Amino acid sequence: MRFLVTGGAGFLGSALANWLARSGHTVRVLDDLSAGDPARLDPAVAFTRGDVSDVPKLWTLLQGVDCVYHLAARVLVPESVLYPREYNTVNVGGTVAVMEAMRDAGVKRVVFTSSGAVYGEQERQPVSEDARPNPDSPYAVSKLAAEHYVRTIGALWGIETVILRVFNAFGPGQPLPPAHAPVIPQLLKQALGGGSLVVFGDGKQSRDFAYVDDVVDGLAAAATAKNVDRQIINLGSGADVSINALVDKIGRVTGRKVAPLLSGAQKGGVSRLCADIDKARRLLNFTPKVDLDTGLRWTLERDPRFKTQPRG
């Protein structure tokens, strides 16, 4: 098959693009490199630098494409609070541009990567796809709005649409920006550096962490699965862990004595978020293979940023 992966030089996008290319597919990637790195990509992947809202460029890249994976987005929740207009422009406007260009080019299926963040605070856990979204950040609002555009434009123009709400993906190579870094690589870095592990809130809040290879399996299946048009499907591990328990696991996997430092500088977010993955099992034949402990160990072993630090 022929694929276009927007945001394909990012953490999750590059893992997907490389998997597709190594499986014999033709893969094109579009990324503006605001957070991506083309060095992550397999030589077989055709990379183009550009803005996801550039419709003429999209027209060119979409010629002959069978399926689009739309991952291009701004993804930092705290940043979205400061810059909601930018998040709306990229995450919503960029998605509409992709759908318009697909309509014009005659592409028949899109797999849109949304986020478990759209659920917000939910009483019933694990949370299923029929739960009413309760977004609590501009990032989550932008993802939910983009979902509606994808499904509506798809229905109007005969484009098959699959929306995957991805929970906390992690693994080797996950970015570590100076501010608002994802929790797992940040805690690994702090543990190996001998410092305290900063935990926002009381640390009792829990999250569903899914290893990147498992998420890629689910994404890959969505391109050819049957009876998934207009479906919204959770992708996660199906299990959650508190941040305090995660700190303990980080200590064990790094071999370091760790001391959590609770910080009130930033809220810890929703109290619990765990994915109900029954629908993914049924429609995508999705079964997570990597548990959290194994994923943490592989991240530590396979990420060169962590290999270079001495372990006690």
Lowest mean pLDDT among 80-94, 146-160, 207-221, 252-266: 252-266
Exposure on the CB side of residue 275, measured as CA atoms within 13 A:
29
Residue written as token pair 């291009």: 72
Is 211 a known active-site residue? no
- Per-residue pLDDT, 265: 60
Return all residues near 84 (Cβ < 8 A) that are at least 6 apart. Answer: 138, 141
pTM of the model: 0.95
For residue 104, give Cα distances in angstroms to 7, 24, 72, 101. 21, 27, 20, 5
Percent of the chain topping pLDDT 70: 97
- Per-residue pLDDT, 75: 94
What mean pLDDT do residues 73-84 have? 95
Among candidate residues 70, 31, 301, the one with its CA nearest the CA of residue 163: 70
Lowest mean pLDDT among 84-93, 172-181, 237-246: 172-181
- Per-residue pLDDT, 42: 98
Amino acid identity of 279?
K
Inter-axis angle of helices 243-254 and 292-302, nearest 10: 50
Q: Across the strands, what pairs with 69?
A: 5, 111
What mean pLDDT do residues 20-26 have? 98
The pLDDT confidence band at residue 312, using thresholds 50, 70 and 90, is very low
pLDDT tens figures, 155-207: 999 999 999 999 999 999 999 988 888 999 999 999 998 878 888 888 999 99
Helices (H), the chain: 11-22, 55-61, 77-82, 84-87, 94-105, 138-157, 183-192, 212-222, 243-254, 278-284, 292-302, 304-307
The pLDDT confidence band at residue 261, using thresholds 50, 70 and 90, is confident
What mean pLDDT do residues 94-113 have? 98
Q: Does the pLDDT of residue 258 top 90, yes or no? A: no
Q: Which of 69, 87, 119, 139 is an active site residue?
A: 139
